[in-house]
Amino acid sequence: MSSVVTNFKEPLITSQNCDECRKATIPKSLGMRTTPSEGEGQLTLTSFPRLIARLALFATLVVPGFSIFGQIPAGSSARKIQTEVEKTDPRVSQIIARAEDHFRKGKLNLEDNKREQARDEFDRAVDSVLESGLDVRASQRLQTYYLELVERIYREEVPLGQRPIQANTMELVAQNTAQNTQTPIASPQKTQPPQIGFLEQRFEPSPLDELSKLVLTPDEKNVSDADVLALEQAKQNVNFAFTIHPLVQQYINYYQGRGRPTMESGLRRSGQYMKLARQIFAKEGVPIDVTWLGQVESAWKPKAMSWASASGLWQFIPSTGRAYGLRQNAWIDERNSFEQATRASARHLKDLANRYRGDWELAMAAYNTGAGNIDRAIARAGTANFWAIYPFIAQETRNYVPNILAVILIAKNPEKYGFKGIRPDSPLTYDVVQVTTATSLQLVAEATDTSVDHIRAINPELRRDVTPRGEAYNVRVPAGKAKQFVAILQRIPGDRRETARVISVAPGEDLQNVASRTGVSVAQLQSMNSGVDLKSTTKLIVPNSTVRLTSWRRAKPGDTQATASALTRIKARKGDTISKIAAARSLDANEIARLNGVAAEAELRAGQEIKLPTSAGAAPSRRR
């Protein structure tokens, strides 16, 4: 910038540009359409003298009828004065009609088994709403229609009631996933699975929804000349070019104050995904500092979802996710994945940067609100510069770009901005095993000595507690457990992996003991564990239907049973996870996770009560 602004206010929206600002649309989070929607509404201005003349004519014609109008019941619509939203109702009807037309064409294509053409039409239906030029959330009717439209499209693409075909092949195990190496046990047979069923996942709110409503306080807006000069120096450490603006410092002020918990949580959680994200972004040619976009998009939560049905760490809407190869069906939604979604995000950002000739501010803005909306804003402003188009874009996008720049500057030097002693979480670690028939996550958890919650946490793209039917699938398991899992899986017929359970047996325990405590007959145990020597194994396979107990240990003299009364209870601190608590006390994180029914890497609430095994009672708690 050529000058420094103190006590900065947002770029002025003048009478010359206010009409264009009214057309700024709500962000669609990754919209792909780049052309203006058909039938975009125009605003008509009326001169003041003409308005006076029209009012006089109105009075002449209407006032005599007031006595009649007064007899209309109070509840009559004749008394109702239209609101601004109601005035747009004809426009809403046009938008819905246009979207319905695309949806109808999509259904026809789907009935003709033209899936690609159907998806294109479904995407156009969604874009008809999101790039309509109206604020979707300002119209209850339009917002309700949009949400129903998204669900209808899911149900059309993933219909209920079809029966899958099970594959019958062997397993492929992969370890050392950082090197992407796989050791095959047997070559899997390729099977084209039918798409079946529909099931909603459980999601967390996206921080983007709150970002769109954020209003900075006067204190947060107070920016000095020295602050801006300091930002000019700090930006030298960022590996892409951008323009320093007082709004960036204002968001730094926000994070140093009332936004501190959000920033601290993001700095911690980023550790789980940042190594992977930097590797992928660098490989795709995206500046690695742009990875901090993930904090603003999702707060590093793979199950974050926005009002516009944008989902995952990188907040893809369904159509953009598909455009970048992210599968979405009844079984999986790769928008919630780690590797696939991160790679898609990097490629999308790279495409947007190329579109705007290497301008990463415009690329990030388009990532939020859609390239079509940014193209229109550039046309109105007459120049391709984020701060020039600022008056012509939606409020969420105005907040979005300076917010990311503030996060990047803080993350590059946390202590400089007052964020001291914050240790990022350890990177996620896991092995990958290819299962070739539907396998329940309960079975995966029991076979790898962990909790179902933990298996869900490291496989966030799975929409059910089972891997997809009819296809091979790479399921993540705890690091170091791949060989153990494969050894158990090979003992279970492919058609029983959805229902089978794994139980632990104690040394010296015989089949009759196991049968007595599980409710499974000795004959069933023998049938499902043919050739297994109890002297050399600690795991048995049992049917799911009647299992009463899956673990047991023989009591020893002087041994204290791990009853509820013998457990130690502690209060979690801010930023704690089960893994951190276990590491501080030299305990098994998986055991504590199972004991509390919480994923090992899930962030705990401050003050949340956590149960620990009795042996941890006297263990010192070191500073974490």
Instruction: Give the CATH number, domain containing residue 517.
Output: 3.10.350
Confidence check: pLDDT of 59 > 50: no
The backbone torsions φ and ψ at residue 210, rounded to the nearest 5 degrees and listed phi first, read -75, -35
| Cβ atoms of 392 and 21 closer than 8 Å | yes
What value does the mean pLDDT take over residues 522-530?
85
Confidence check: pLDDT of 405 > 60: yes
Q: How far apart are CA 89 and CA 19, in angstroms?
A: 19
User: Which residues form the domain of 448?
Assistant: 429-492
More confident residue, 513 or 31: 513
What local confidence, expressed as pLDDT, does residue 186 receive? 37
Residues 473 and 374 in one domain: no
More confident residue, 594 or 500: 500
Residues 293 and 398 in one domain: yes
Residues 152 and 223 in one domain: yes
Residues 223 and 372 in one domain: yes
Closest CA to 424 of 216, 302, 197, 269: 269
User: Where a domain ends, among 405, 428, 451?
Assistant: 428
What local confidence, expressed as pLDDT, does residue 207 receive? 78
Most confident stretch, 94-108, 123-137, 159-173, 528-542? 94-108
Confidence check: pLDDT of 437 > 80: yes
Residue 395 lies in a domain: yes
Burial 53-87 (b: 16+ CB within 10 A, else e): eeeeeeeeeeeeeeeeeeeeeeeeeeeeeeeeeee
Looking at residue 113, its amino acid is N
What local confidence, expressed as pLDDT, does residue 403 receive? 96
Count of domains for the chain: 4
DSSP 467: P
More confident residue, 279 or 78: 279
DSSP 284: T
Residues 421 and 465 in one domain: no
Most confident stretch, 60-64, 386-390, 603-607? 386-390
- Taking each helix axis from N to C end, the angle separating 260-283 and 339-355, rounded to the nearest 10 degrees, works out to 80
Residues in the chain, total: 624
Residue 76 lies in a domain: no
| Cβ atoms of 219 and 253 closer than 8 Å | yes
Confidence of residue 319 (pLDDT cuts 50, 70, 90): confident
| HEC-encoded secondary structure of 551-587 | CCCCCCCCCCCCCHHHCEEEECCCCCEHHHHHHHCCC
Give the SS3 label for residue 333. Answer: strand
Other beta carbons within 10 Å of 226:
10
- Express each pLDDT in 563-622 by its tens digit: 444 578 899 988 888 888 987 887 877 778 767 777 777 788 888 989 887 654 434 333
Most confident stretch, 186-195, 457-466, 514-523? 457-466
- Express each pLDDT in 287-308 by its tens digit: 999 999 999 999 999 988 887 7
Residue 192 lies in a domain: no
Residues 421 and 433 in one domain: no
Confidence of residue 487 (pLDDT cuts 50, 70, 90): very high
What value does the mean pLDDT take over residues 21-31?
43
Most confident stretch, 137-141, 183-187, 440-444, 610-614? 440-444
Give the SS3 label for residue 593. Answer: helix
Q: How far apart are CA 23 and CA 135, in angstroms?
A: 9
Residues 223 and 118 in one domain: yes
Q: Which of 12-26, 51-65, 173-187 has the weakest average pLDDT?
A: 173-187
Looking at residue 398, its amino acid is R
Residues 444 and 313 in one domain: no
User: Where a domain ends, among 395, 428, 461?
Assistant: 428
**Residue 218: partners with Cβ closer than 8 Å, 6 or more residues away:** none
Residue 162 lies in a domain: no
Closest CA to 499 of 436, 435, 443, 437: 443
- Express each pLDDT in 158-178 by its tens digit: 554 343 333 333 333 443 333
Residues 524 and 398 in one domain: no
Average pLDDT value for the chain: 77
Structure-token pair, residue 139: 């119209």
Residues 485 and 514 in one domain: no
Burial 198-224 (b: 16+ CB within 10 A, else e): beeeebeebbbbebbeeebeeebbbbe
Confidence check: pLDDT of 366 > 60: yes
Residues 362 and 443 in one domain: no
Q: How far apart are CA 516 and CA 214, in angstroms?
A: 60
What local confidence, expressed as pLDDT, does residue 197 receive? 32
∠ CA 530-534-536, nearest 5°, is 110
Q: Which of 314-323, 376-385, 437-446, 520-529 has the weakest average pLDDT?
A: 520-529
Q: Which run of H or E residues covers position 239?
A: none
Residues 256 and 371 in one domain: yes
Residue 410 lies in a domain: yes
What local confidence, expressed as pLDDT, does residue 157 receive? 62
Q: Which residues pair with 502 in a beta bridge?
A: 541
C-alpha distance from residue 206 to each of 153, 256, 302, 315 (Å): 22, 21, 10, 8
Residue 261 lies in a domain: yes
Q: How far apart are CA 545 and CA 406, in angstroms?
A: 54
C-alpha distance from residue 391 to each of 25, 298, 375, 519 (Å): 12, 26, 14, 69
Q: How far apart are CA 175 and CA 258, in angstroms?
A: 43
Confidence check: pLDDT of 346 > 70: yes
Confidence check: pLDDT of 561 > 60: no
Q: Which run of H or E residues covers position 401?
A: helix 395-412
What local confidence, expressed as pLDDT, does residue 87 receive? 57
More confident residue, 410 or 51: 410
Q: How far apart are CA 612 and CA 334, in angstroms?
A: 35
% of the chain with per-residue pLDDT over 70: 71
- Taking each helix axis from N to C end, the angle separating 395-412 and 225-234, rounded to the nearest 10 degrees, works out to 70
What value does the mean pLDDT take over residues 203-214?
77
% of the chain with per-residue pLDDT over 90: 41
Structure-token pair, residue 348: 């999308």
Residue 48 lies in a domain: no
Q: Which residues are catalytic?
A: 297
CATH number of the domain at 338, please.
Answer: 1.10.530.10
